[in-house]
Amino acid sequence: MALLLAGISLLAAVQACTVTPVEVPGGCTSLPSYDSSSGIAGPWIVEMNQCVNTTAPDKACSIEGFGSEAVYLLQQGDTSVQRGYIAIVSENDLAKSPLRCNDATDSFESYVPSGVSGYEWKSVNITDMPYSAQLMWGLGQYSLPIQAYYHYLDGVKQDGIFLGAHNVTSWAVQLQDGSAGSGGKPYWLVRLLGPGSADPVTGAELEHGEYKTFIRIYGS
């Protein structure tokens, strides 16, 4: 009997930790720093929130609160920057790239390197590959939009507004070696842990070296 009760309270504890994402209604209007004359909310940094270090005994995550940066990708034959990742910085004093919500393009946008030497606001999407739904700009048609969500716990709205898609706000982050597009600094690549994102062979939710996190709009 004691064992059964222990089992039940454990289950309750696990479920209590599971928040329900609910899409923020009204396009950009409910997001921080919304300006009705421009139809734009932001710009703001997005940051790691409630990240879990599955390999640390106390689950403490050293990159909690670290912000977003743009890491451009140059593929063979590219003579200018067309696309890249919205990633998380590996040192929080590195330069960040802001995001904003733009009603005119009905999307989140980031201020990113573009062309030969410029910077522009570009729409940010996730790829349409469930297993590697990375957050990127310049994706085009093979991509899905992201949304803003509130978190509810046992019917109670929690602090914060979070990025996600498919009613999922959990992301995996994994450290990558520095490249030209990251100014030579390592960076944390993010992918959505949405439907079909588990490893197709092992069924594992996270790959080796990946940690789980929410991505919160700073100031929300």
Ligand X SMILES: *[C@@H]1O[C@H](CO)[C@@H](O)[C@H](O)[C@H]1NC(C)=O
Judged by the rule CB under 6 A, the positions of this chain that interact with ligand X are: 53, 55-56, 61-63, 123, 125, 139-141, 143-145, 166-167, 211
| CA distances in angstroms from 113 to 28, 109, 117, 160, listed in the order given | 24, 12, 7, 28
**Shortest CB 198 distance to ligand X, Å:** 17
Which of 28, 201 has the CB closer to ligand X?
28
Cis peptide before 43 (omega within 30 of 0): yes
Closest CA to 40 of 128, 101, 86, 92: 101
**Whole-number Å distance between alpha carbons of 74 and 53:** 31
Which of 63, 215 has the CB closer to ligand X?
63
**Shortest CB 8 distance to ligand X, Å:** 27
* φ, ψ dihedrals at 84, nearest 5°: 180, -175
In this structure, the strands spanning 83-89 and 187-192 are antiparallel
Which of 23, 199 has the CB closer to ligand X?
23
Which of 33, 174 has the CB closer to ligand X?
174
Contact at 8 Å (CB) between 152 and 39?
Answer: no
Contact at 8 Å (CB) between 61 and 188?
Answer: no
**Shortest CB 118 distance to ligand X, Å:** 17
Which of 74, 144 has the CB closer to ligand X?
144
**Shortest CB 109 distance to ligand X, Å:** 9
- Sequence-ordered list of residues with C-beta below 8 angstroms from that of 134, at least 6 positions apart, any chain: 85, 126, 127, 189, 190, 191
Structure tokens at 33: 């720093």
**Shortest CB 78 distance to ligand X, Å:** 17
**Shortest CB 55 distance to ligand X, Å:** 5
Closest CA to 85 of 135, 16, 11, 150: 135
